[in-house]
Amino acid sequence: MLVVQRRRVASGSPYEPVIGFSRAIVSGHHVFVSGTAPIMPDGGDPPADAFGQAKRCLEIIATALEQVGSSIHDVVRTRCYLVSAEDWKDVGRAHGDVFGDVASDVRPASTMVVVTGFLDPRWRIEMEADAIVDTG
């Protein structure tokens, strides 16, 4: 029987203990970052625009990855959930700022899905990311 160590990463989100989830889980070589909303460090209002919200989501994801010794360069898949299809260009621009550098060979598999809403009506986007790391 193969036993794979799992490690949990918390971010301090007020939703973690209520819903019962972790910001990220490391299992073997895989890192799974939960749906990440544009929650501000001080709990204040998120940016009003989709670009700013996407940048904030990516900052939170990068921090979670760093906490497990990984980085944005290890990301192999992202999922972007939008409440408005019109936001795709702004979200894509923020995503491209982080993952679009062809020279760095990051460019993960990705998808954008339009949804009807989120837990907080101020959110325009939520993102997930999966990474593969060398734990060797």
Q: What is the pLDDT of residue 31?
A: 95
The whole domain housing 124 covers 6-132
pTM > 0.85: yes
The CATH number of whichever domain residue 34 belongs to comes to 3.30.1330.40
List pLDDT tens digits, range 71-90: 999 999 999 999 999 999 99
Q: Is residue 43 part of a domain?
A: yes
Return the closest-CA partner of residue 123 out of 49, 33, 42.
Answer: 49
Comparing CA positions, the residue from 72, 54, 91, 86 lying closest to residue 129 is: 72
The whole-angstrom separation of Cα 124 and Cα 136 is 38
Q: Across the beta sheet with 125-132, what order do the strands follow?
A: 6-9, 24-27, 30-36, 125-132, 75-82, 109-114
Q: Report how many domains make up the chain.
A: 1
Q: Does any domain span residue 1?
A: no
